Copies of this chain bind each other. A is one copy, B any other.
Amino acid sequence: MTFANVGTLGVQPGRRDEVVEILTRPSSVLAENGCLSYEVGVSDEYPDTVFVSELWVSADAHAASLQLESVKESIAAAMPLLSGEFGGFRFDVVGSPLR
């Protein structure tokens, strides 16, 4: 079942664009491991937050991705730039009016 993970990452003041750069580095590994969509964004309203909205082929594929070497490297690179504030939610996709 398609799985959605959407979240907010608080960043240290002024470090937002560095975090965006890390998260948007081209990666074929993600698609190869079941990532269907991985959108990274920002909002003028919250300058110290990075947003992500992901779709995966399953919750298991998402969980397994956190153990991929390249993903662990990204997390390690971003971690010192984050404030420690995280938000968001996860859900199982059950449909779409577009399909």
Binding site for B on A (CB under 8 A): 2, 4, 6, 8, 20, 23-27, 30-31, 35, 37-44, 51, 53, 55, 87, 89-99
Contact = CB atoms under 8 A, between A and B. Distances in A.
Contacts of A23: 95, 97
List the number of copies, as a whole number: 2
Q: Which of A2, A40, A95, A97 has the most CB of B within 10 A?
A: A97
B97 A2 contact: no
A42 B97 contact: no
A2 B98 CA distance: 17
A55 B87 CA distance: 19
B91 A42 contact: yes
A42 to B, nearest CB: 6
